[in-house]
Amino acid sequence: MKLLTLVPLIALTFAACDSKQEQARKAELDAQATKLDDAAKASKKDAEADAKVTKKEGEAKAEALKDEANRVRDQKSGN
């Protein structure tokens, strides 16, 4: 009868403890996840910087087009 009580207790004890291999695997997965998080942050930062550059270029192009439109209107008024 005691043996039947001890078997589940021993099984639970071993199941509750992670092996060194399991701990190493979890640590490796955590390190990979951290690297991916860092890469995601860097990618977002790069995208935001690219967006700022693109916005400035677009605004400059729009301003140049407005200036050209004003020159055309001035020519129309002058003729």
Q: With contact defined as beta carbons under 8 Å apart, do 26 and 18 qualify?
A: yes
Query: Which two tokens mark 22?
Result: 């399991």
In the chain, where the domains are located: 21-78
**How confident is the model over 30-70, as pLDDT tens digits?**
999 999 999 999 999 999 999 999 999 999 999 999 999 99
pLDDT at residue 10 in the model:
65
pTM: 0.58
**How confident is the model over 20-29, as pLDDT tens digits?**
899 999 999 9
**How confident is the model over 67-78, as pLDDT tens digits?**
999 999 999 777
**Cα distance from N-terminal residue to C-terminal residue, the chain:** 113
Q: What phi and psi, each to the nearest 5 degrees, are found at residue 60?
A: -65, -40
* pLDDT value at 16 more than 80: no
| Beta-carbon contacts of residue 18 (< 8 Å; ≥ 6 apart) | 26
